[in-house]
Structure 1
Amino acid sequence: MSSSAFTTGGGTPEETILPNLVEYWSGGAISTTGTGTFEPGQPTQADAVVLNVPRVAFSKTSGSGNNSATWAPDIRITIPGGAVGGTYTGVITHSVA
């Protein structure tokens, strides 16, 4: 997964929260299907990673055929001291590789 910047208004520096301020941890799988065994990339809050570079949320370590995993990640965003108030919008992207 990876994150875009979160912005409001015109996206000036005071209206932007960069991806290095977005922390993510996947936690464990809520449910899975198929014969696969899934390993969370960040099982606990202590394993949280910043999303300034692509990260792995889950890996399938065994199994074959069609498999799926469902999880409810936790996301923590640090608001910079100089940030202005507003509704910020950004995108966290999950990819399958």
Structure 2
Amino acid sequence: MSDQRAALTATWTASVIAAAGAFTTGGGTTPETIPNSSVLYWSGPATNTTGTSPGDVTPGQLNAGAAQSLSVLRTAFRKTAGSGSNSVTWNPTLVINVPAQAVEGTYTGTVNHSVA
């Protein structure tokens, strides 16, 4: 996430969600769908920050114990204080719990990040 606004107060929230239906294969019938409630996410710590003190950026989920389902919009990272241009990078982890009734196949899906 890179914020080039150089604003006096540069705060933001990066959010994440899995698309409805999450991951599908074939025709997307029930046994060909892994619901977004089965997709878990954690952001982990920042891997790099610029233009801000490290205490000004907060991960939404620091570790695996804080993983959250992507069935609703979640906070991936947040900048809570400071000013000026800044950036943060992180390497999130996705865990997909495959339902017992899921058929074999190549599943595709979308996970979206947005910033406000």
Aligned alpha-carbon RMSD (Å)? 0.8
Q: Deviations over 1:13-35 (max 9, x none)?
A: 01000100000000000001112
State the 1:85 CA deviation.
0.5
Specify the code of the residue in structure 2 equivalent to 1:39. T
**Cα distance between partner residues in 1 of 2:30 and 2:87:** 39
Structure 2 runs not aligned, ≥5 long = 1-15
Taking the aligned partners of 1:67 and 1:19, their CA distance within structure 2 comes to 31
Question: Aligned partners of 1:66, 1:90: CA distance in 2, in Å?
Answer: 33
Superposed structure 1 runs of 4+ greater than 3 Å apart: none
The equivalent residue for 1:28 is: 45
TM-score of the two chains, using structure 1 as the length reference: 0.96
- TM-score of the aligned structures, taking structure 2 as reference length: 0.81
Unaligned 5+ runs, structure 1 = none
Report how far residue 67 of structure 1 moved: 1.2
Could you list the per-position Cα deviations for residues 40-68 of structure 1 after superposition, in whole angstroms to 9, with x for gaps in the alignment? 01001110000000000111011111111
Give % identity: 55
Which one has the bigger strand percentage? 2
Matches for 1:27-66 after TM superposition, within 5 Å: 27-35=44-52, 37-66=56-85
Q: How many residues align?
A: 97
Higher-Rg member (1/2): 2
SS for the counterpart of 1:23 is: strand
Asked if 1:90 corresponds to 2:109, the answer is yes
Determine the C-alpha separation between the residues in 2 that align with 1:80 and 1:16: 9
